[in-house]
Chain A
Amino acid sequence: MVRNSTILAAAVAAAIAAPASAQTLDPALKDYKQVSGVSGSIKSIGSDTLNNLMTLWAEGFNKMYPNVKVEIEGKGSSTAPPAMVAGTAQFGPMSRPMKSAEIDAFEKKYGYKPSAIRGAVDALAVFVHKDNPIQCLSLQQVDAVFSKTRKGGTNKDAATWGDLGLTGEWASKPISLYGRNSASGTYGYFKEVALFNGDYKDSVKEQPGSSTVVQAVASDKFAIGYSGIGYATADVRPVPLSSKTGEKCAPANAAAAYSGDYPLARFLYIYVNVNPNQPLDPVRGEFIKYVYSKQGQEAVLKDGYFPVTQAIAQEDLSAKKLM
């Protein structure tokens, strides 16, 4: 966990001061320039968290290149690697980095590793009902709520809201848990970072989609659930989190995600099948460039996530020899 957020913080803060306001783009991001001769088809299979963002990118890309066919399926990050190995998809959006087993399977088929591009930043949010007065949770508390093994180091299970410090009518009410299904990258990431690789409680109600988690929390006053920040609605509230008990909690916003104060900030990846010994075909190359353009990152804002900076864009683009 520390590893993840430090990398993210370092990457973002490295070249440019993080954007001051939550909702601005890095002004260094370039306008996308249309080139000629781009056609063909793109198929993307993977993350549900990234499903809408991929669609927005596809819509924007289609506006530039009307004859490029873009098809998008999003049923969970774990569906991306098999689809890429089978060759049914060229893009595999994932809300977690690929596991080494998945990379190995890919390498066995193609002889090289898949390339990852970091398209957006997400603050994986822990949502509660809008009437819930809770102000701050540490990762250890989150672990005590969601995990049965409690590897975070707390020895007391949190079964009621009273265990998290709430009083009044909340004190005796059991916490109702919502989460994602195991195909989801969000499930894997949350398990790794917030549960310290422990096991989920059996009482976590696994939902098939990010939005479903939010809807479930919205309709259940005593619920808590985790999902991408982009799916927030007026009926739920993301709880500020701290990485250690006693530390100051950081809200799930762009500034805290960039600085690394928010402990569940993560990159959202798109994996691409790029043969390092061959030039990337124009459709895929242009799509990646589009993702890192001003228009592409504006779509990120539109979907409720946080844009990446030009520094990251530069790094990933030059790694793919696109700049």
Chain B
Amino acid sequence: MTSTPFDTVAAKGRAQSSTRVRTTDMKAVGEPNLWAFGGALAFGCVMILGFLLLVFWNGVTTFWPKPLIVVTQADGARVAGEPFRAEAFRPGPEVLATLDPATRKVIADDGGLASRSLYRIGNYDIYNEDFRWVSDFSVTDTATPSGMMFIERLEWGPFIGRIQGVTIDDQERPALVGDRAGLAAAHDAARARWRQIRHIERNLIGDINHRLESERLAVRRIAIRQGEGTPEHTAALQRFAETEKVLQAEYAKLAADAQALKAEDARTRITLAEIGGAEKTINLSSVVRMYPANDLDLMGKLAVYASRWWEFVSDEPREANTEGGVLPAIFGTFVMTLLLVVVVAPFGVITALYLREYAKQGRLVAIVRISVNNLAGVPSIVYGVFGLGFFAYVLGGSIDGLFFPERLPNPTFGTGGILWASLTLALLTVPVVIVATEEALAAVPRSMREGSLACGASKWQTIRNIVLPRAMPGIMTGVILAMARGAGEVAPLMLVGVVKLAPELPLDGYFPFFHLERSFMHLGFHIFDVGFQSRNSEAGKPMVFVTTLLLIGLIFIMNISAIVIRNRLKRKFAGSQF
């Protein structure tokens, strides 16, 4: 670089100006610090925004219907599927040896690099793989032909191919193959029948099974209390036999109904053909959703998109959590966080009140305070171990022995459950509430307390009417922080009650309605499970983003509502002070 006269002048000017600045000390102005702080803030914001955008973008696009591409390869093999992702790679010498010279030259000109695309080909029952890489140099033709269907099934994942035939009530109906509206109507009818079967099996038969089980437990309870062979036990056994007979009759009737419906259901079938021609006939009712991916207009795509989201938030998971929805996980996360708040708020506030208002400020209180602060720094998995050892095994084990002996050796409370999980998280987050509450109490001016006491109010009246209302916004902030931490925590939960599959929600229609002993599903664990435990991690990746988006959304909503409640309270107490 050559230096021009202009550069020299400019450099001189800079030198002069910098000497001028140095006359007032840099440190005193604080300019570099300001830049450092501002830069750190900006960096943090960019990181958070980038993370949110990444999750949001990947989550939002997952359910959007993609076109189905049919790729014809040089050897005549055809692959049909959704394009998933593409990458550049360096074909090895053994791959290059199989190619013709022209292709080899193209690859060599590109510096030895070629590209390939991953297609989601579905049809796992036929191919035994659901994704396939296709090297771009082997492709002779790509097309998006009309009539290619993407068919989501209850089992075996999606089917990609064409509809070959439709049979309704054992009558072949070739007209329906091309008639989308007619097929949709037939599909709706089949799905309605499927839901009816599910209703009978799950709700009606489930009810009978539930009654049977509680009767059986009642007999066992009598056997344990009164001893086997006693008159009470014999009478109970007799009663049980009678009830069982009645229930069995009901069961037989319902089972016959379900069987008849199933037989009817099996008469409505759809025959599908994959791109190579292999055919597969399945019940129409086992098709969750089907759409001609290449013939959809914007409205059609939006409809598919909306219906997929609705299924995701309102349905139960299928196929080892890789498909279907996450309703049980949403519900589990929500209930657990609520329970956590119910436990942590009173405990934290009472502790802080005692520490700040009643306890004599001495060495002991200082030690307690330090311990509380240190509790906040203990790794969460340690709480998980404590929760499992103390809550589940010790507490839960004794509860089982005292109250549920008839269910042993199957543990009721003696294993992880939503109550123990909430209590463990409450322990984990209670320091946050204590510290926040103490700060809030300390911020109430001394003059106000003294005024109240001078007016003749007792200490408790002062706390109740003067101190607590003033401190309430601060306390609420602590509770919100505790909630935010608790809702996002997963590690300790894995030990105390979160499971991959919990078929029953902790809340249902059977007495006592709230089943605190049940294991539950959690969105955070669901993310871990789908991303790192599912059979096909490739298919799991998009679901990870969707579930993450949902978890962030859920925590956001819970925090926002807590903040709104806090602001309401603030206004209310602000008005009632004078």
Contacts and interface: CB of A to CB of B under 8 A. Distances in A.
Interface in A78-130: 86-88, 90, 130
A72 B535 contact: no
A73 B500 contact: yes
B353 interface: no
B319 interface: yes
Contacts of A72: 499-501
B533 interface: yes
Contacts, number: 138
A23 B533 CA distance: 23
Given A41-B410, A131-B92, A234-B118, A51 B206 contact: no
Given A71-B502, A87-B411, A231-B537, A36 B92 contact: no
Contacts of B429: none
B533 A74 contact: yes
A90 B502 contact: no
Contacts of A52: 320, 533-535
Contacts of A231: 535-537
B500 A51 contact: yes
A209 B532 contact: yes
A55 B500 CA distance: 8
B409 interface: yes
- Interface size on A, as a range, is 35 or more
Interface in A1-43: 22-23, 34, 36-41, 43
A70 B128 CA distance: 28
B410 A233 contact: no
Interface stretch (B209-217, B439-447, B565-573): B209-217
Given A71-B499, A131-B92, A65 B209 contact: yes
A74 B89 CA distance: 36
Contacts of A62: 503
Interface in A187-208: 208
A66 B206 contact: yes
A74 B535 CA distance: 13
B213 A39 contact: yes
Contact of A211 (B128, B494, B534): B534
A247 interface: no
- Interface size on B, as a range, is 35 or more
A71 B519 contact: yes
Contacts of B206: 66-67
Interface string B68-99: 00000000000000000000011011100000
A102 to B, nearest CB: 18
Nearest to A170: B92
Contacts of A235: 133, 538
A220 interface: no
Contacts of B156: 302
B87 to A, nearest CB: 10
A88 B538 contact: no
A211 B532 contact: yes
A214 interface: yes
B131 A40 contact: no
A63 interface: yes
Contact of B210 (A37, A67, A90, A304): A67
A230 interface: yes
Contacts of B63: none
A56 interface: yes
A133 B494 CA distance: 40
Nearest to B529: A51
B201 A39 contact: no
Given A215-B532, A235-B538, A87 B409 contact: yes
A210 B500 CA distance: 15
B289 interface: no
A212 interface: yes
Contacts of A74: 500, 533
Contacts of B403: none
A66 B203 CA distance: 8
24 contacts: A37-B212, A37-B251, A39-B209, A43-B415, A52-B534, A52-B535, A59-B320, A66-B201, A66-B209, A67-B202, A69-B504, A70-B503, A73-B499, A87-B414, A88-B414, A169-B90, A211-B540, A214-B537, A215-B532, A235-B538, A301-B125, A302-B125, A303-B320, A304-B535
Ranked 10 nearest A-B pairs via Cβ: A67-B209, A39-B209, A234-B131, A55-B320, A66-B202, A67-B206, A52-B320, A87-B409, A39-B213, A66-B206
Interface of B: 89-90, 92-94, 118, 124-125, 128-129, 131-133, 155-156, 201-202, 205-206, 209-210, 212-213, 244, 248, 251-252, 255, 318-321, 393, 408-411, 414-415, 494, 499-504, 518-519, 532-538, 540
